[in-house]
Amino acid sequence: MPDPRHYLSQLNQGHWFAALPAALSQSLLDMAQVQHLDAGQRLFRRGDKPSGLYAVVEGAVRVGAVSENGKEALLTLVEPPYWFGEISLFDGLPRTHDAFTESASSLLLLPQAELLALLERQPQHWRDFALLMSHKLRLAFLALEDMSLLPAAPRLARRLLLIAENYGDSEPRRVLHLAQEQLALMLSLSRQTTNQILKELQAQGVVQLTYGEIEILDIEHLRQLAS
């Protein structure tokens, strides 16, 4: 099995992990398990018992839910070095959403029992994990506000920025491995509306559209459109 330390430099590109006390980050790597999944493979479903905290280190994971009639709500598509699964760490309750791999992916798992044992021994580190969860909560409140107050175009621009910055956890990247249908699902917009806005952004030289990808050409212009 690969050594989790192989992914240390990548994990340190994320703001949350890089800010952890050295002793804690070392302990997390010591307990981490590497998992390799094929494209479309299930990591967990809504209602599953909590298994621990995950980090995406290769590939991408989609988090959302599917209704009984097959309608999908896509909350987020996450890439390295994004961490997720912390809600069930705090409350011990079942998973709130489904998580599937978008492409062949590798993840680090911090098993629930081992992580809780560490926090029992060193309760001062609960705050570090609370910061991870509070960051997600802050983003969720902002997204709800955007849905209520912003027109479609600036809302789309804001979501592109969030994805480019891996939801605030790492430096912006130019190429987003994101299909237009997925972006539409995240924003609760029609595919036609999403396509129209993206085509307008492409005409302005802000993005370049290719199959399954959106390349950001002018991130400062995108920030202006999102403000």
- Residue extents of the structural domains in the chain: 4-138, 151-226
In DSSP terms, 213 is beta-bridged to 210
- Non-local (6+) Cβ contacts of 128 within 8 A are 20, 21, 24
In the three-class reduction of DSSP (H, G, I as helix; E, B as strand; rest coil), residue 210 is classed as strand
Supply the pLDDT for residue 67: 74
Using CA atoms, how far residue 86 sits from 68, 109, 127, in Å, is: 26, 12, 12
Which of 150-159, 160-169, 194-203 has the least mean pLDDT?
Answer: 160-169
Supply the pLDDT for residue 72: 79
Q: What percentage of the chain carries pLDDT values higher than 90? A: 78
Supply the pLDDT for residue 28: 98
Nearest CA to 42 among 1, 97, 98?
98
Q: Tokens 């912003």: give the residue.
A: 150
Does residue 132 surpass a pLDDT of 90?
yes
Residues comprising the chain, all counted: 227
The CATH architecture to which 151-226 belongs is: Orthogonal Bundle (1.10)
Say if residues 35 and 42 touch (Cβ distance below 8 Å): no
Model pTM score = 0.88
Supply the pLDDT for residue 1: 64
What is the helix (H) or strand (E) element at residue 187, kind and residue range?
helix 180-187
Nearest CA to 195 among 205, 206, 184, 187?
184
Which of 134-138, 149-153, 169-173, 209-213 has the least mean pLDDT?
Answer: 169-173
Does residue 140 surpass a pLDDT of 70?
yes
Which of 114-123, 135-144, 163-172 has the least mean pLDDT?
Answer: 163-172
Does residue 69 surpass a pLDDT of 80?
no
Give the largest Cα separation in the chain, rounded. 57
Helix, strand, coil tally for the chain in percent (to 5):
45, 20, 30
The mean predicted confidence, pLDDT, of the chain is 93
For residue 44, how far is the Cα from the chain centroid? 15
Written in H, E and C, the secondary structure of 119-144 is HHHCHHHHHHHHHHHHHHHHHHHHHH
pLDDT band at 166 (very low <50, low <70, confident <90, very high): confident
The CATH superfamily label for domain 4-138 reads Jelly Rolls (2.60.120.10)
- pLDDT tens digit string along 171-196? 788 999 889 999 999 998 999 999 99
Identify which has the larger pLDDT, 85 or 70: 85
